[in-house]
């Protein structure tokens, strides 16, 4: 993780998908945490997402991606969630929340916008 942290510090883009998102949160490169799904069941289905704020490298307005996780529910303290919205760090939200994530959050970025994490799997067709 040292090289990832160094790259992020230099402003290079870093993307964490699913477990990678969890790791970025656990190493504090991203805010919040990913916890057990609300109904404590593994979810494997397609979801619709809405782009809230574009990361530095751009993005789409909306997208449909698969999810496959048992610990994919975004969580942060209420003041942290407010700060994420205020500082435009909420990247993606679920149109229909599948796992109980706070404020429907599916992805967040760091303050600089170069480190992003999302729970859905864009690499999984």
Q: Which of 6, 18, 25, 77 is flagged as catalytic?
A: 18
Question: 38 an active-site residue?
Answer: no
Give the C-alpha separation, 19 to 97, whole Å: 19
Question: 18 an active-site residue?
Answer: yes
What lies within 8 Å, CB to CB, of 12 at 6+ separation is 114
Q: Which of 6, 25, 71, 123 is flagged as catalytic?
A: 123
Question: 121 an active-site residue?
Answer: yes
Cα–Cα separations (whole angstroms), residue 55 to 20, 43, 44, 103: 17, 26, 26, 19
Backbone angles phi, psi at 2, to 5 degrees: -60, -45
Surface-to-core class of residue 78, CB atoms within 10 Å of its CB (0-12 exposed, 13-18 middle, 19+ buried): exposed
Positions marked active-site = 18, 121, 123
């Amino acid at each position: 993780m040292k090289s990832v942290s160094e790259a992020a510090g230099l402003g290079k883009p870093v993307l964490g998908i699913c477990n990678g998102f969890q790791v970025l949160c656990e190493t504090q490169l991203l805010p919040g945490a990913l916890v057990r799904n609300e109904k404590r069941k593994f979810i494997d289905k397609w979801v619709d997402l809405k782009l809230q704020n574009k990361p530095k490298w751009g993005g789409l307005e909306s997208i449909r991606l698969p999810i496959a996780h048992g610990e994919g529910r975004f969580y942060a303290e209420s003041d942290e969630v407010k700060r994420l919205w205020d500082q435009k760090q909420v990247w993606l939200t679920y149109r229909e929340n599948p796992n109980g994530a706070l404020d429907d959050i599916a992805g967040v970025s760091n303050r600089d916008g170069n480190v992003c994490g999302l729970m859905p799997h864009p690499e999984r067709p």
